[in-house]
Chains A and B, each alone.
Chain A
Amino acid sequence: MTWIPYKRSWDGIDSTGHNVNAGLLEKDRNLYTIRAVPLTDVHSIHRHAPPLGWQYVIVVLSSGLAHPPLYFYNGGVREFLATIKQHVSLLRSRDDANVFLVNDLQDPLQKSLSSLELPRAVPGSNGTALHSSISSSFSNETPGRLNDATVDGKSTTTEYNGKQKQKFNDPARDISIQVLEKFSLVTKFARETTSQLFRESHHDSSNSYERMQWMNSGSINMASIEPTIKQKVPDENPATLDSLQVDKLSLVWGKARQSPLNYVEWATFLDSEGRVKDSEALRKRIFYGGVENNLRKEVWRILLGYHAYDSTYAEREYLASVKKSEYDVIKSQWQSISPSQAKRFTKFRERRGLIEKDVVRTDRSFTYYDGDDNQNVTLLHDILLTYSFYNFDLGYCQGMSDLLSPILFVMENESEAFWSFVALMERLGPNFNRDQNGMHSQLFALSKLVELLDSPLHNYLKQADCLNYFFCFRWILIQFKREFEYEQVMYLWEVFWTHYLSEHFHLYVCVAILKRYSRKIIGEQMDFDTLLKFINELSGHIDLDGIIRDAEALCVCAGENGEACIPPGTPPSLPIEAESMYLPQDDDL
């Protein structure tokens, strides 16, 4: 079988195709292509039909290697399996109805049973007929198909699908493919990490008591996970699956935090020319311990994507000098506006005024920014105003000064701070969109994650009409900047920026905090006002290490179901659309 993403060509009986998309990166294509794998090498095919999002299958080879997920955004999994079945014996695993074993003929009884499983899907006996049926399901332009494939009768998902529909009504279907690819990248990380954690937990059982305690305390709510599983496999014996799930969960507990990465250890991650040898290992290391402060300058620029992981010392130095000149040019654009020109340039004056108002009240109690005529406050101002010229459509928005402040503190250099901020805003810019879509998609994803991971809280919030999750607005908009001490914020941010377990780890942190106070919120019957007050007042009182560990455990437990809660393109994922996404408005500064 062959799987070629983005190509609408049917060059083999079992290949599936997508639209050609010129805008996609070659490496993405390579990542998701399966090149001519003999079916004899395939061990099993795992079907995933999350209650939210698209169905996908994962092909596992006899060697144990698993390919990245193959997404079916318009349905077609059934047909795909039916086609495979034309060529090899395919039977359902007794343990998991979503696992189809290929070439496993050990149990003749199972074989005969499995042959009863897929009769509806096969429209004809020859390959050609199948082709047309599958390709039509792939190229079908009717948005309804998406719903058919994903909703599965679950009413709560309609909102999500409605949203997606709107998004993908765009004639460029390619966008949705890109979305899927971004999406699958995320789930791939999650899956790999899950298996890694499971492996590790075999070696390290010292935490088992703690884990048991945690399980007993009901931190992970089994009831909330069960229905999801049952839904996926309505016609199977749920008891087997539940016990499997328990088994999985009992292995998982967020690992103890390590000491921050220091200079000596950092050097071991680099080759002689300064390239990061193994970015995954580095990201993992930082995820579990953060970075020592004196090293942040160097590491943050890489984590943020300003410098590439595989750049050399020389390349980074060169880029810094080029970018310094570039920064000076952009800065000179507003510096050259004369007072008489400014008088006739309301938008500029207003934008500058807004920035002036905010920088003088950003972290002024922190030594680096305190006192009268503090030069660093001036730098905050200059960088933000320059950014509002660099990204004129987005401009300046309250909250940005909070995001810039630690970056300038770490970089201690105007141009470097600017470009690091630019890199951060590539991901967080949509948080500040006028239509709030970046925030809405994150708050929506959060509500879905809570539904999955803490159903009693979800049910309570639903009944209290608090499902908009606006009480978490500040957490998400500025990445918990106001919730922790300065040093802790820097530590938490570098954990986020590793994108190690998930690009959306911050959402799991939200869930972890809410989960800690779940009983209190429900017990005291907090309404929206009280809840917002309560959440705002948690600032400074959250046990960060404990929360990160909880969030890690939740993220791993939720696995693909969790990632399926997060609409593709949700910040801080890189934006989907290539063109400008910030639509300026008349009144907008």
Chain B
Amino acid sequence: MATTATKSVNAKLVLLGDVGAGKSSLVLRFVKGQFIDFQESTIGAAFFSQTIAVNDATVKFEIWDTAGQERYHSLAPMYYRGAAAAIVVYDITNPISFTRAKKWVQELQAQGNTNMIMALAGNKSDLLDARKVTAEATQTYAEENNLFFMETSAKSATNVNEIFYEIAKRLPRAQPVQNPVGMVLMDRPVERTAGASCCS
């Protein structure tokens, strides 16, 4: 689902996960290099963009950060529709958030975009003493479901850039196309970009 120009890829990425798992904190760390102890809850959704260089190309991530509460679940499809990648975030100190992460994975698998790159982030890896979800159990789950998995810490900046780089590397590379400046992905990239890109 990425659109390319010469060595430039735009990729829509969505963050999903339970309340307080650290979705906004991961984005803030990645986009601004900051961490706030009491990051306020996300109301509705927030949008950020960040460009990184990977190998021979630059990837511009268009990142949707969503509200975590189940109550707002019905809004989620609006944000993950047409996404090239998703990071499903849970909190390693909170087993319920891992259960919820698995539900998100299921939902994304069910919505039928087989090209979507899915990453699973076990966040708050700095809180080792409070760990409730083991990395081994998650790794098994991730392999079974064809996800790639990393434990991250937005607070200590561990694996935050790495997870985004890893996604960037896995994005499908397309041949340079007619449109030299690239184009912005919309909600319906399947129809709109079919002629201009290669998402196979």
Contact = CB atoms under 8 A, between A and B. Distances in A.
Interface of A: 350, 353-354, 357-358, 360-362, 364, 397-399, 401-402, 432, 434-436, 465, 468, 470, 473-474, 477-478, 482, 527-530, 532-533, 536, 587-589
B45 A398 contact: no
Contacts of B48: 533
Contacts of A470: 44-45, 75, 78
Interface of B: 12, 19-20, 37-41, 43-49, 62, 64, 67-75, 78, 96, 184, 186-187
Contacts of B68: 398
B47 A435 contact: no
Given A398-B19, A527-B186, A532 B67 contact: no
Contacts of A478: 43
Contacts of B20: 357-358
A529 B165 CA distance: 22
B19 A357 contact: yes
Given A361-B40, A536-B47, A397 B69 contact: yes
B38 A529 contact: no
Contacts, number: 83
Contacts of A434: 71, 74
A477 B40 contact: no
B127 to A, nearest CB: 14
Given A354-B19, A361-B38, A364-B38, A398 B46 contact: no
Given A398-B67, A529-B62, A465 B47 contact: no
Contacts of A532: 45-47
A587 B12 CA distance: 29
A361 B24 CA distance: 12
A361 B43 CA distance: 13
Contacts of A401: 41
Scoring A397, A398, A470 by chain B CB atoms within 10 A of each residue's CB, the highest score goes to: A398
Contacts of B12: 529
19 contacts: A354-B19, A357-B19, A357-B20, A360-B38, A361-B40, A361-B41, A362-B40, A362-B41, A397-B71, A398-B72, A434-B71, A436-B74, A468-B78, A529-B12, A529-B47, A530-B184, A533-B48, A536-B46, A587-B70
Contacts of A398: 19, 41, 43, 67-69, 71-72
Contacts of B71: 397-398, 432, 434, 588-589
A473 B186 contact: no
A97 B37 CA distance: 64
A478 B40 CA distance: 13
A482 B184 contact: no
B199 to A, nearest CB: 19
Task: List 4 A-B pairs, minimum CB-CB distance, nearest first.
Answer: A473-B44, A357-B20, A361-B38, A533-B47
A134 B71 CA distance: 46
Scoring B46, B47, B68, B71 by chain A CB atoms within 10 A of each residue's CB, the highest score goes to: B71
B68 to A, nearest CB: 8
A482 B41 CA distance: 11
B187 A528 contact: yes
Contacts of B69: 354, 397-398, 589
Contacts of B38: 360-361, 364
B78 to A, nearest CB: 7
A378 to B, nearest CB: 15
B58 to A, nearest CB: 18
Contact of B43 (A350, A360, A468, A482): A482
Contacts of B39: 361
Contacts of B44: 470, 473-474, 477
A432 B40 CA distance: 18
Nearest to A401: B41
Contacts of A361: 38-41
Contacts of B72: 398
A276 B85 CA distance: 59
B108 to A, nearest CB: 17
A514 to B, nearest CB: 16
B186 A588 contact: no
A149 B41 CA distance: 45
Scoring A434, A529, A536 by chain B CB atoms within 10 A of each residue's CB, the highest score goes to: A529
B41 A588 contact: no
A70 B153 CA distance: 63
A362 B39 CA distance: 9
Nearest to B91: A357
Contacts of A536: 46-47
A67 B70 CA distance: 48
A486 B73 CA distance: 29
Contact of B184 (A354, A474, A529, A588): A529
A432 B73 CA distance: 12
B133 to A, nearest CB: 16
Contacts of A533: 46-49
Given A398-B43, A473-B44, A530-B184, 15 more contacts: A354-B69, A358-B19, A361-B39, A364-B38, A398-B68, A402-B43, A435-B74, A436-B75, A470-B75, A474-B44, A478-B43, A529-B184, A530-B47, A533-B47, A533-B49
A436 to B, nearest CB: 6
A17 B69 CA distance: 47
A530 B183 CA distance: 13
A530 B184 CA distance: 10
Nearest to A402: B43
Contacts of A527: 184, 186
A362 B43 CA distance: 12
Scoring A357, A364, A470, A478 by chain B CB atoms within 10 A of each residue's CB, the highest score goes to: A357
Contacts of B70: 587-589
